[in-house]
């Protein structure tokens, strides 16, 4: 895998306990643990990454929703407004 420039979310505020994302030259997306930068790396195809980001935006992975199994039938978490894309992490994001 070609090393690229990994990014952390601005919500991390410099913390090392965040995951890091890297857009690879071949279009895939790499994900690693910020605390273990030499550790394992997960690599996703653009389609897999887009599905993951859509799930995050839809609240699919919210702990309360997962624990209760109350995910809405329309794919939205109950009581949530429609999902908005995460800037810089969607399927149509330009490589870093």
Return the percentage of the chain with pLDDT > 70, whole number.
68
Q: Which of 2-6, 30-34, 60-64, 85-89 has the lowest mean pLDDT?
A: 85-89
Q: What is the pLDDT of residues 56-82, one digit of tens each?
A: 899 888 888 777 776 554 554 454 445
The Cα 59–Cα 1 span in angstroms is: 31
CA angle, 51 as apex, 50 and 57 as ends, to 5°? 85
């Amino acid at each position: 895998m070609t090393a690229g420039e990994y990014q952390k979310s601005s919500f991390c505020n410099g913390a090392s306990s965040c995951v890091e994302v890297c857009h690879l030259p071949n279009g895939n997306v790499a994900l690693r643990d910020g605390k273990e930068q030499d550790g394992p790396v997960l690599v996703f195809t653009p389609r897999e990454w887009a599905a993951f980001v859509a799930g995050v935006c839809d609240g699919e992975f919210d702990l309360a929703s997962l624990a209760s199994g109350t995910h809405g039938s329309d794919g939205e978490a109950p009581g949530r407004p429609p999902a908005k894309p995460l800037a810089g992490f969607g399927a149509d994001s330009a490589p870093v």
